[in-house]
Structures are given as C-alpha cells and as structure tokens.
C-alpha cells in the first residue's frame, strides 16, 4: 500500500486556520481595524452591508504597503510586526500572528488597494478563496483600503451558522467599541450601508466614551464619570468609573491594557469590591479602566480570539486597582458634586445606597383618625379575645389563599361598642394598627407576631404583577404626554427597542417612529406618570439588554420589573394609614407576596415568641 499522508494545499490549510480566527463578520472588522491602527492611521472609516455578510470595508490613512508586501500580506504567518519569539514579550502592536489576512482571504472575496507616501501609484490585489485573481498598479489614495465581500462564500456551513442581522450587527458594535474606546486619538466613522452610525472625531478617552455611549444622553454620562489616576512602578492606571447611583443591571465595563481590550474577571472583582455596600448586589457599575504596564510583564493570549491576558504582578495590581477606585468613590462621597445644569430634572436614580437616603421628617400624628370621626377612642377591650378573632380574619396566608383581602371598613363606627360588634372593630383594628417607621417600613400586627414590610418592595411586587398582566392581555391604559419627548437611541439600543416595543405598547406607551434612531414618546402608561419618562425607557432598555443575553429570563418580566421599580413608592414617602392598609391588601393578593420579582425579601416577621423573650 502506498503512503497516505500528504500536505494539505494552502487553500485548505488557510480555510481551517480561518475557522479559528474568523468566526463572523465582527472578527473581520476587528482584524482589519487593528491592522489599520498598527499602520499608524489617524482616521479609519468602516462600512458594513447586510450586517457584514456582503461587505466589510475598512479604509485607513496609514502607512500603506509596497507592492511585494501587498501580496505577501496574504501569506500565512506573514507579518511585519515580530521577527522572533522574544518579540512576543515586547509587543507594542495589536497584530503579531500574521494569520488574519490569510484567513480572511481563504473564506471571502477580498479587494485590497494600498499606497505608501513614497509611491506614486498604488497596488490593487484581488484574492478569493486564497487564489489571487488580480494584482496591478492603480491610482489610489494614500493608505489602505480593504473590501471583504461575501464572507464564507465558499463555506456554506459557516455561513449558515451566522445569526440574525441584529445579532451580527451587535457583535460588530461590540468589536467597534472595544477598539474605538482605547484609540480615542484616532478618528473613526462607521456606516451601515449609506447610514452613518458613528462619526467619532479624534479626542480623548472621556469624550470618546461620551460620544459612544452618551450619544443621545450625554449629560447622564458627563455627570456620572469619576476620574481615576495612579502611577506606580508596577502599573499606571487611569480611566473613569461611574458614580454608584448610575450602576445598572448590566453596566458598561471595559479594561484595556497597553492599548488593547481585555477581559479580566479577577480585576473586575477588585473594582466591584471598591463599590462594596454602595450598589445593590444585582447592579454593576460602569467603568473604563486603562492600564499601562511593561509589556514584558504580561502574556498576551496566543489564542487569536481570546481576550484574557495574564499579568506577572496580578495581585499587586489587584490591590492598587481596588484602592484607586475606592479612593475616587470616597472623594466623591465626601464632597458631593453639585451639578447646576440639570435642567430642573428631579434625578432620583433607583440605585442610591440606602444609607444615603435621608427620609424627610416624619409628620406622624399618633392621634390621627383616618375615618374622620372625632369621637374615636381606642376601645377598651379584652385584647386576647380580640386578637383571636382578628388573626383568623387577617392572617396573610389565609386571606391571600381565599383572595378575600379587599374588605371595606364600615363608614361609621360605634366606638362605645360592646363585644357584639366585634366584627367591625376587627377591621378597624387592622387599619388602626399599621405604623409607618422611618417612612420606609410598615409595621402591622398579625397573629404570630409583628410583621414588618418594606413599602418600596411591596409596592414593586404589586405593580410588577399588574404590569405583567397588562403586557400579556394588552390592557394598559395610556396617558398622553403634554410635551412629547424625543428619544434618541444608539444603533444597538434601537435594535433591542424594536423587540420590546410591542410589549411597551401593551402597557400603554405610545410612540411615533421619527427615523432610524429616534422616536417620539407621545403616550405613557397611566400608572407611571409622565415625568422623566425617557429615563424610564432607558432603564427598561438597560435591563432588557441583560435579559436578552440571558435565556433564562424573559423580556416581559424585565420590562414589568423596570416599570414597577420606577413607579413604585420610594423609601421616604409618607403613607396614610389607609394607604398602608390598601398596600397590604394588594400585596397579599399577589401570589408571591414574600419576595420581589428579583428575589428581595419584602417582609419579615418578629415572632411573638421572639418578642416575649426580649422582655
């Protein structure tokens, strides 16, 4: 039998290699843009069509390539960036593997035009599936232009693996943000077909962040970023962290090292630790942190698509990082910033740490009689008897099970009552025994002890159940806004918004689409009210983003929760006795009255036993 082992042809080998490097249109964009950065470009223009399926074009004004280099660039392991293995440890460039262009050319149709400043004419190379179709001199601008067409034209299986346009576009944006945020000195533009998505002038990191994420809510971003800055001989750290109250369900979190985006779960924990106690467990802060270290002390992941990076001084950097962030947050807390340009908006972010809320002074009048009869006096009763009856009626478990929670108090009360009128007294007793503590908790007596209810959480549960039903039955009542507000969204937010719009309409929102990235809010859910409705929608989107990424949760729940959080009573709000009773009734009518939809405890019971032990 003859020998059976042979070398694979280049085209096949490259295609296999491409499987690692080029997984989707976003990977092409990343590789091309990184090459432009390495070529010293100061302006990079990107055009995609059909979410990058049919075209990804990257044009730069970098140093260009010679004729030979333009051809060599497509060879595997062809690079101008490193010469030997040692160079791997002093990397200053984004690329070094020399396999991106070879991989792209193996699975797409590529057209390269490039010219160096010293050359009068440029070079055109056309290559597809590793075969060179054309190589000739042409007139062209200084710099380099890559057009990558019909990605995976020769690999149908991979083509089928691509996700919907929206998903592919959001991958593209993710890559775009990662390079644009750390190369703020380079101007970028991004077009989807003819539509301009981003036009980012060369600037500094802070303005770049605002230009990207605060595109239409700039003020929110200007207000929220705190500067961090430290230099030590191990690392220089600079960047921005979000004020705690701007923490979101899914914050924007970016680490960069030596100009490269990285994921670093361990350092992430260092940042979170600095926010300890300042944000809720379910929230995460925004941060953009740029580290500069000696390239010798890090190990860039050799795997082409991994973004994890190993640090020699990981623990030391961890501590420096945490301390730096803590210091920035500390300064901010001691000297609260006064923003004069808030345009009178009442800014009450939900993430304010509880310690920072100073409830307004209580104006609780212990003699207040909610039913208006002036001759009301607490009846002198046999308490034990009364209690026994009362328990049966008002034990939350029982009443919620029977659903009979909505009783009306009798309109007039005979106070000089005898035991024969106990029924009425029971009701009154329930109403009269609620007590609001610190304008935050409702205290009420039940059979087994003293029940303490968090008013904000209770109301959140009640509203959540209502909104969810409204979404499902499209029964929301709409309220017209007097001055319609314009909501402008980034591209990826708009994609998501389109998904959740029907649900929002079901709960009473009304929109008028103005163009690709803006819409007018003309009606809102009547239960929500019309103040700061834009903030609400942004919150809903923020939460929906997290939900969309997690298949175990549902968008409808996420929307209902955002709205409930927004519209619910806050800590610090004084409640009348009737309001408290009404809230308790409605809470116990909910199937799950013990926990909020996001799992927080609504009530706690100080049992009679416990109470007695204390005396």
Q: Measured from the CB of residue 44, what is the shortest distance to ligand ADP in angstroms?
A: 9
Say whether residue 304 binds Mg ion (CB under 5 A). no
Distance CA 251, CA 245 (A): 12
Q: Name which of ligand ADP, Mg ion, none residue 27 binds, using a CB cut-off of 5 to 8 Å depending on partner kind.
A: none
Closest by CA to 95, choosing from 10, 36, 46, is 36
Nearest approach, Cβ of 95 to Mg ion (angstroms)? 3
Residue 519, strand partner residues: 487, 513
Distances (CA, A) of 94 to 48, 71, 302, 401: 22, 21, 12, 63
User: Tokens 């709205």 identify what position?
Assistant: 563
Residue 371 in contact with ligand ADP, rule: CB under 6 A: no
Q: What is the DSSP string of 471-499?
A: HHHT-PPEEEEEEEEEEE--HHHHHHHHH
By CB under 5 A, residue 95 contacts Mg ion: yes
Q: Kindly state the greatest CA–CA separation across the chain.
A: 113
Q: Determine if 73 is a binding residue for ligand ADP (CB under 6 A).
A: yes
Stretch that binds ligand ADP, among 3-11, 95-103, 265-273, 331-339 (CB under 6 A): 95-103
Q: Is 130 in the site for ligand ADP (CB under 6 A)?
A: no
286 binds ligand ADP (CB under 6 A): no
Nearest partner of 53 among 167, 129, 150, judged by Cα: 150
Residue 41 binding Mg ion, by CB under 5 A: no
Residue 39: contacted member of ligand ADP, Mg ion, none (CB under 5 to 8 Å, by partner type): ligand ADP
Q: Is 35 in the site for ligand ADP (CB under 6 A)?
A: yes
User: Which residues are 610's β-sheet partners?
Assistant: none
Strand order in the sheet with 518-525: 478-488, 518-525, 510-515
- Which residue, 100 or 325, has its beta carbon nearer to Mg ion? 100
Residue whose CB is less far from ligand ADP, 3 or 83: 83
Which one among 35, 444, 581, 596 touches Mg ion, defined by CB under 5 A? 35
**Which of 233, 303, 295 shows the shortest CA–CA distance to 263?**
303
**Position 144 contacts Mg ion (CB under 5 A):** no
**How many CA atoms are closer than 13 Å to the CA of 607, on its beta-carbon side?**
3
Sole window of 56-64, 156-164, 283-291, 317-325 interacting with ligand ADP (rule: CB under 6 A)? 56-64
| Nearest 10 degrees: Cα torsion 592, 597, 598, 603 | -40
What is the nearest approach in angstroms of ligand ADP to the Cβ of residue 97? 4
Closer CB to ligand ADP, 62 or 122, in the complex: 62
What whole-number distance in Å separates Cα of residue 227 and Cα of residue 192? 33
User: Is residue 175 close enough to count as binding ligand ADP by CB under 6 A?
Assistant: no
Token pair, residue 437, equals 């503590």
Give the nearest residue (CB) to Mg ion.
95
Only one of the segments 35-43, 245-253, 281-289, 413-421 lies at the binding site for Mg ion (rule: CB under 5 A); that segment is: 35-43
For the CB of residue 7, give the shortest distance to ligand ADP in the complex, in Å: 21
463 with 568: CB under 8 angstroms?
Answer: yes
114 - beta bridge partners? 123, 144
Measured CA to CA, the distance from residue 385 to residue 29 in angstroms comes to 77
With a CB cutoff of 8 Å and minimum separation 6, the contacts of 347 are: 532
Minimum distance of ligand ADP from residue 308's CB (angstroms): 19
* Binding flag, residue 110, Mg ion (CB under 5 A): no
Could you tell me which residues come within 8 angstroms of residue 85 by beta carbon, excluding any fewer than 6 positions away?
none
Q: CB under 6 A: which stretch of 30-38, 284-292, 480-488, 602-610 binds ligand ADP?
A: 30-38
Query: Which one of 100, 225, 320, 561 is in contact with Mg ion (CB under 5 A)?
Result: 100
Q: For residues 13 and 9, what is the distance between their CA atoms, to the nearest angstrom?
A: 6
Q: Does 97 bind ligand ADP (CB under 6 A)?
A: yes
**Residue 310, both tokens:** 């190993």
Of all residues in this chain, which one has the CB nearest to ligand ADP in the complex? Answer: 95
Encoded tokens for 334: 């001691």
- C-alpha distances in Å from residue 216, one per residue of 175, 205, 542: 21, 18, 14
In this structure, what token pair is assigned to residue 120? Answer: 């009068």
466 is an interface residue for Mg ion by CB under 5 A: no
Which residue, 64 or 239, is less far from ligand ADP as judged by CB?
64
Q: Which of 43, 96, 387, 511 binds ligand ADP (CB under 6 A)?
A: 96
62 contacts ligand ADP (rule: CB under 6 A):
yes
Q: How far is the CB of 302 from Mg ion (least distance, A)?
A: 14
Is residue 300 part of the contact set for ligand ADP (CB under 6 A)? no
Per CB under 6 A, does 81 bind ligand ADP?
yes
Task: Give the residues lining the site for ligand ADP (CB under 6 A).
Answer: 31, 35-36, 39, 60, 62-65, 73, 78-81, 95-101, 144
Task: Give the residues lining the site for Mg ion (CB under 5 A).
Answer: 35, 95, 100
């Amino acid at each position: 039998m003859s020998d059976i082992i042979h070398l694979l042809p280049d085209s096949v080998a490259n295609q296999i290699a491409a499987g690692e490097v080029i997984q989707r249109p976003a990977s092409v964009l990343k590789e091309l843009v990184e090459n432009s950065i390495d070529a010293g470009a100061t302006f990079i223009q990107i055009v995609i069509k059909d979410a990058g399926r049919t075209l990804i074009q990257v044009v730069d004004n970098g140093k260009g390539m010679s004729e030979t280099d333009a051809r060599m660039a497509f060879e595997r392991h062809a690079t101008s960036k490193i010469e030997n293995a040692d160079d791997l440890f002093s990397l200053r460039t984004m690329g070094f593997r020399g396999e991106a262009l070879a991989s792209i050319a193996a699975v797409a149709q590529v057209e390269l035009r490039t010219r160096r400043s010293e050359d009068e004419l440029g070079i055109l190379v056309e290559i597809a599936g590793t075969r060179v179709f054309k190589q000739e001199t042409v007139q062209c601008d200084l710099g380099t232009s890559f057009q990558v067409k019909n990605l995976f034209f020769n690999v149908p299986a991979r083509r089928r693996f691509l996700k919907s346009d929206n998903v592919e576009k959001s991958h593209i944006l993710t890559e775009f943000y990662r390079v644009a945020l750390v190369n703020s000195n380079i101007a970028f533009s991004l077009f989807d077909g003819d539509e301009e998505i981003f036009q980012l002038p060369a600037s500094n990191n802070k303005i770049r962040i605002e230009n990207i994420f605060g595109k239409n809510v700039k003020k929110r971003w200007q207000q929220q970023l705190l500067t961090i800055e430290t230099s030590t001989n191990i690392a220089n750290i600079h960047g921005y962290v979000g004020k705690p109250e701007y923490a979101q369900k899914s914050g924007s979190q970016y680490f960069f090292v030596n100009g490269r985006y990285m994921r670093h779960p361990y350092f992430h924990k260092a940042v979170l630790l600095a926010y300890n106690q300042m944000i809720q467990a379910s929230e995460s802060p925004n941060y953009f942190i740029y580290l500069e270290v000696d390239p010798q002390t890090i190990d860039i992941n050799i795997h082409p698509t991994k973004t994890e990076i190993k640090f020699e001084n990981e623990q030391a950097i961890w501590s420096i990082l945490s301390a730096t962030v803590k210091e920035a947050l500390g300064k901010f807390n001691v000297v609260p910033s006064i923003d004069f340009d808030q345009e009178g908006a009442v800014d009450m972010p939900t993430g304010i740490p509880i310690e920072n809320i100073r409830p307004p002074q209580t104006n609780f009048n212990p003699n207040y009689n909610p039913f208006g009869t002036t001759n009301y006096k607490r009846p002198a009763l046999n308490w034990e008897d009364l209690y026994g009856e009362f328990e049966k009626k008002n034990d939350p478990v029982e009443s919620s099970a029977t659903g009979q929670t909505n009783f009306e108090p009798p309109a007039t009360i005979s106070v000089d009552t005898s035991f024969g009128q106990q029924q009425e007294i029971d009701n009154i007793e329930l109403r009269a025994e609620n007590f609001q503590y610190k304008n935050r908790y409702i205290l009420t007596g039940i059979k087994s002890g003293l029940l303490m209810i968090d008013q904000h959480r209770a109301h959140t549960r009640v509203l959540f159940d209502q909104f969810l039903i409204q979404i499902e039955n499209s029964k929301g009542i709409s309220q017209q806004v007097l001055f319609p507000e314009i909501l402008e969204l980034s591209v990826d937010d708009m994609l998501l918004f389109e998904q959740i719009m029907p649900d929002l309409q079901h709960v009473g929102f009304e929109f008028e689409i103005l163009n690709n990235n803006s819409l007018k809010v003309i009606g809102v859910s009547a239960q929500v009210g019309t103040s700061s409705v834009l903030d609400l929608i942004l919150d809903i989107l923020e939460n929906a983003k997290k939900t969309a990424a997690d298949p175990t949760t549902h968008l409808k729940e996420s929307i209902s929760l955002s709205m409930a959080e927004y519209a619910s009573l806050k800590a610090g709000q004084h409640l009348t006795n009737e309001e408290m009773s009404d809230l308790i009734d409605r809470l116990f009518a909910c199937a799950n009255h013990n926990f909020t939809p996001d799992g927080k405890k609504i009530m706690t019971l100080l049992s009679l036993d416990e109470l007695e032990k204390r005396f």
